[in-house]
Structure formats: C-alpha cells, structure tokens
Amino acid sequence: MQAAPSRLLLIFLSLSMLGSIKVYLGGNLGWLLLGVFLAGAAAFDAARGGGGALLHRMQRHDRPYLILLVGWLMFAGGFVIAGALTPGAEMLPLLKYGAIWIVLIILISLGIRAVDLQKALVIALLAAILPFLILVLARVTSGLVVLGDGRMGWAAAWPGVLWKVGAYAWPIALWRWLKNGGKAAFLLVTASLLTMAVDGSRTSMVWLLLVWGALLFIGYRFGTPNVGIGKQVPLVLTAAVVYLVVQPFILAWVEGNALSVSSDVAWPWDTFGSALPNNSTALRIVKGDTHTRLEMLEEGLARAVENFPFGCGFGCAMVGEGAGAMVVHMTYLQVLAEGGILSLVGYLVFLLYPLYLCLKYVGVRGEAVVQRLDLMLAPLSTLILFLFIGLFHPVSNELTEWAIVVAAIAVIISHVPRRN
C-alpha cells in the first residue's frame, strides 16, 4: 500500500479508537470524519490500481467474506423480523449497521495492515491520556470530570469510556515489554495502566489480569526474554504504585484535598481495606457495589425470555423508567431481547468466525507462534476485548464504536486466509 492511502487509513483507525472513547468526536461528526478519510483512502487506492482492483482483492477472500456476510445478514434480519412483529419499533439503526458493513468491505478491499491498527491504538492512547495529565498538572478542573466514586476523565473522554483506550493498548504494550523490554515499552505499559486506573473500571482490571496471565504463559512457553520472575517485579511494582499511589494522589490533587483514609470499609480484610484512600480505584474494585448491575441483568433476562424467540425491536431492552432508563448492560442479552435468537446467532458468527481464523493462524506449532502473534496481536486482542466488553456493557450502532472492531476483522480476513 502506498503512502497516501496508508496514511489516510492510519488517521481513520486513530480517529476510530478515539471515537470509541468519545475523544473529540460525537456520533454524527464521527461518521462524517471517518467516512471522509476512508473514502479518501479508497479513492487513492482505486486510482493507483484501476477500477477492478478492489473487486479483484475481494474475490481472494470470497469464502470468509461470505461467512461474514451470512452472519451479518442474520444479525440484521433478526431486527427486521422483530421490527415487523412489534408496532412502532425503530428501524433507523439498520441503516447504520448497513453502513458499517460497507466500511468492512472497503477495509478488506484495501488490504488493511495489522501494523496500521497497532500504530493507531498507540496513537489513540497517547492522544487520550496526555491531555488528561496536562489538565491534572495545571489543575484545570473545568476541563476534568470527576465522579462521586472517584472515577476520573476529562471533557472529551469521560469516566466510563476513557479506560477502553488503555485496555485496547494494554496487550500490545505488555507484549513489547515481555519480548524486548526497554524504556519505550515500559512507558507504554505505564500509560496503559494509568489510563485504566484513573477511570477505575473493574472490567479493565479483569482484562488487565487475563491478558497478563495469557501473555506470560505464551512468553514462558516459547521463551521470550522478559518472562522471568525478576523481569515481572518492575511491572508488578508499577501497577501497585499506579493503582495505590498515583491514582489517589491525582484525585486528591484535583480536588485540592489531602489524601483521606477509609475507616468504615465493610469487607472482610478490614486491616488492609482501611489503608486504602477513599474513592480510590483500588477500594472501588474490592468494595464496589454490584447490586444495580445484577438487577439490570435480571430485568434484561426477563425481557429476553418474554420476547423469545423473535425479539421486540431496537431500544426495547431498557430497564428503569423515565430519565433513569438504561439499556441492559450486557450485549448478548440486549441482542437476544431486541433482535431475537436469529440476531444473536448472527452476531456471534460475525465476531467468532474471524476470531477462529486468527487463533488457528497464530496457534501453529513451533517458533512461528511468537512471530505470528507479533503480526496479529493487535487485531486478535481487539476482537477478544470487544467480545469481553459485551459481557458487561451494551452494544452501540455508532460507527465510532464499531470502526476499530471492523478494522480488526478486516485485517484478519485480508491476511490470514492468504497467509495460510
């Protein structure tokens, strides 16, 4: 791929990741900007290769493309059926999902590269956390957002979404450290940890530990340099300092208070719990209330059972009433309730099939595992994280939410079948 389309794709991918955490981009603006850069990349590529180049490349991936198409049609078809059976059901999101499919086709046809996706995730991480740190150091409280439970973000990346950029970059940062070490890899690891810590997401903490364990196992199994216990000590200490010292200090600095210590922690390890600062991420992780989320899942399951097997259409998987109504915070229950079993199966086919292809490609015997993981870690971890997030959060029909995941799928479809 020549410079112009490659650079435009890198901008597209970076904005996609930033859009998923709402940095700089709202929904409509996000669609516009992403469409402009993607159209520009396609136009440059078509002009270079002739009018039939895009179609020719699509034909090389006909089988995986068709399987993806079947999954996507099942996903959309379930919502069509649910809308037809539910008077007044909204159908506009189908147009957005159709546009997302077009984006996938273009990305596959452009032969998008894994290295572009990896660069974009790193660029997005720095673009998200550096402004936050500048605002913190300058104590520009008008630009910061601090919730009552201590979760922090800034005006363009609120708590609740800021952690995603750290979570998407975490596998790349950690793998670089485990393979080669170095100051750059260590700083990238620290930036990922800090982004997840200041947001205080428990989802990100589980992801952090799962990725750490999985990559340590792979590194140990295939002999990467930095997997020994001694090499992990700096990472463990860094994580402890970020979560137990840096995040509470930033919170206290922003609020203009001295660090306070909790004295009424209602959990078994009172001695350790009382040593954690109030509203710290560490305290929230071990003491956080899950009652609301459990109630939400119960109501979502009841809604899915009530409307089984065809669903009740877009927007019906809501819990609560009036201004307090929220969509069910679990993608799979949400899709089952709104689009029925057909949509859920299609959704899983669309996401699990490329995941299967990538795992099969990476999981060969011998030293090639490390080499192939180097190549495909960015799309593989992006897809796995998106599926993992679905266990605790709803799915959106915005391109800014889907673009980075669609890009990961396009990387896998563009490279894995051909390289195998």
Name the residue among 37, 26, 32 with its Cα closest to residue 157: 26
pLDDT on residue 149: 76
What's the whole-number mean pLDDT along residues 345-368? 87
Res 396 pLDDT > 90: no
**Chain center to CA of 360:** 22
Res 262 pLDDT > 70: no
pLDDT on residue 282: 53
pLDDT on residue 237: 92
- Per-residue pLDDT tens digits for 120-163: 999 999 999 999 999 998 888 888 888 877 888 888 888 888 89
Hey, where are the domains in the chain?
A: 1-110+290-420, 126-288
222-231, 260-269, 324-333: range with highest mean pLDDT: 324-333
Name the residue among 58, 17, 7 with its Cα closest to residue 37: 7
Res 299 pLDDT > 60: yes
The 3-class SS string of the chain reads CCHHHHHHHHHHHHHHHHHHCCCCCCHHHHHHHHHHHHHHHHHHHHHHHCCCHHHHHHHCCHHHHHHHHHHHHHHHHHHHHHHHHCCCCECHHHHHHHHHHHHHHHHHHHCCCHHHHHHHHHHHHHHHHHHHHHHHHCCCHHHEEECCCCCEEECCECCCCHHHHHHHHHHHHHHHHHHHCCHHHHHHHHHHHHHHHHHCCHHHHHHHHHHHHHHHHHHHHHCCHHHCHHHHHHHHHHHHHHHHHHHHHHHHHHHCCCCCECCCCCCCCHHHHCCCECCCHHHHHHHCCCHHHHHHHHHHHHHHHHCCCCCCCECCCEECCHHHCEECCCHHHHHHHHHHHHHHHHHHHHHHHHHHHHHHHHCCCCCHHHHHHHHHHHHHHHHHHHHHHCCCCCCCCCHHHHHHHHHHHHHHHHHHHHHC
What's the whole-number mean pLDDT along residues 200-206? 87
User: CA–CA separation, 358 vs 161, rounded Å?
Assistant: 27
Higher-pLDDT residue of 8 and 187 is: 187
What's the whole-number mean pLDDT along residues 295-300? 78
pLDDT on residue 226: 67
Q: Enter the pTM of the model.
A: 0.86
Res 48 pLDDT > 80: no
Res 26 pLDDT > 70: no
Res 260 pLDDT > 50: no
* Mean pLDDT of the chain, nearest integer: 80
pLDDT on residue 417: 62
What's the whole-number mean pLDDT along residues 195-210? 90
Strand-pairing partners, residue 314, are 90
Res 273 pLDDT > 50: no
Higher-pLDDT residue of 384 and 203 is: 384
pLDDT on residue 192: 96
Res 345 pLDDT > 70: yes
- Per-residue pLDDT tens digits for 79-126: 889 888 887 777 778 888 888 888 888 888 887 888 989 999 999 999
